[in-house]
Structure 1
Amino acid sequence: MKDLKKFNIQFVGLKEGTHLFDYEIDNKFFDAFNYDEFKSSSIKVLLNFIKKSTLFELTFTANGYVEVPCDLTNELYKQDVHAVLPLVVNFGQEFNDENEEILILPHEAYEFNVSQFIYEMIVLSVPNKRVHPKVLDGTMESEAYNKLKELEIKEIKTVEETDPRWDKLKNLITEKKT
């Protein structure tokens, strides 16, 4: 995790007010978390850090792309990433990160690492179903996509005929009523 040391924020020496931190995220960052779903990535994360006397207000903003395979065609494409994550850091008796909007640090802490928050923000901003933009606009030309279109169900035919056995059962019900 020594690759993630640049994400440590030593807040003890910071004056009250706004501080900006920026980070360039690539696949080395995701390798530190053993996350290999992105083939490549280029994301700029801007952290707006507001230090107040009793707490910190953080706002993470991520913009860039990750290269992922399409779920339909397996073709690689660049998925845009745009995400914002607000976080409040407060102090208490012990470390607590159970609430996703509030982080509690022990009173004796002098720094904390923001890499986990950046990682979660980026991974959660990528859609679960990844569809290549060319599939959506109909311009995709790939063997896999052409085969999917060939096998697609064109039209569902409804059958108006009923099974004669059911008709006989329906007649039994109507005969009892009369």
Structure 2
Amino acid sequence: MDKLRNYDIVFSGQKNGRHEFQFEINKAFFQLFDTEQEFSAPEIVADIIMDKHTTFLEFDIRTAGAVNLVCDLTADDFRYEVENDLRVLVKFGEAYDDSEEEVITIPAADHAFNIAQLIYESVVLAIPMKKISPDVSAEDLEVLERYSPKETEEEQPVDPRWEALKKLKDKN
């Protein structure tokens, strides 16, 4: 976690109320995580609003910017605008627990909260599963759909030799 220390938000000593933070997110940020990225050349700004209350913290994380993606159809690079909002409630307890989706528990003795993982997740969730360049025309997609294998709902007949082998296996 030491390499992510630059993304600590110190709440101890802050007054109750709204506090704003901003982080520039680039390639160096993603290199801090030991995962391969499906994008390159990230230029993203993370705007963080922390609303401090007496017994809990609210974080509103807004990421916006652009990354380079590789089109799944043409293998060409294209620039993709990313934007995502993530809201998280941080409450104090005995030990760190992030098993709930929108609530994170941190030890009551902590004086700072590291926001790096949440920024990372916010950006990664904004990347589409299917990456299609805006340069791909509707006609190209139609041709692709026409020649793509079709799923059929009818069952294919099973080779009787496989059925016999399956029966032998089931007996054992």
TM-score (norm 1): 0.75
> What SS is found at the alignment partner of 2:136?
helix
- Equivalent-residue separation in structure 1 for 2:21 and 2:137 (angstroms): 37
Q: Which amino acid is 2:11 matched to?
A: F
Counterpart of 1:103 in structure 2 is: 104
Superposition map of 1:56-135 within 5 A = 56-135=57-136
For residue 137 of structure 1, report the CA deviation from its aligned partner: 5.5
Counterpart of 1:26 in structure 2 is: 26
For residue 17 of structure 1, report the CA deviation from its aligned partner: 0.7
In the alignment, structure 1 residue 6 sits paired with structure 2 residue 13: no
Aligned length, in residue pairs: 147
> What SS is found at the alignment partner of 1:122?
helix
Q: Which amino acid is 1:6 matched to?
A: N
> What SS is found at the alignment partner of 1:12?
coil
For residue 107 of structure 1, report the CA deviation from its aligned partner: 1.1
In the alignment, structure 1 residue 41 sits paired with structure 2 residue 42: yes
- Equivalent-residue separation in structure 1 for 2:27 and 2:136 (angstroms): 26
Moved over 3 A (4+): none
- Equivalent-residue separation in structure 1 for 2:101 and 2:89 (angstroms): 9
Question: 1:119-140 deviations in whole A, cap 9, x for unaligned?
Answer: 01100111000000010466x9
Percent identity of the aligned residues?
32
The answer to which of 58-67 and 30-39 deviates more is 30-39
Residues 43, 64 of structure 1: 8 Å contact kept: yes
- Equivalent-residue separation in structure 2 for 1:12 and 1:20 (angstroms): 15
Q: Tell me which structure has the larger Cα radius of gyration.
A: 1
Match of 2:147 among 125, 133, 153: 153
Counterpart of 1:165 in structure 2 is: none
Q: What RMSD, in angstroms, separates the aligned Cα atoms of the two structures?
A: 2.4
Q: Which amino acid is 1:121 matched to?
A: S
- Equivalent-residue separation in structure 1 for 2:130 and 2:51 (angstroms): 35
Q: Which runs of 5+ in 1 are unaligned?
A: 155-178
> What SS is found at the alignment partner of 1:96?
coil
For residue 91 of structure 1, report the CA deviation from its aligned partner: 0.7
Q: Which runs of 5+ in 2 are unaligned?
A: 149-172
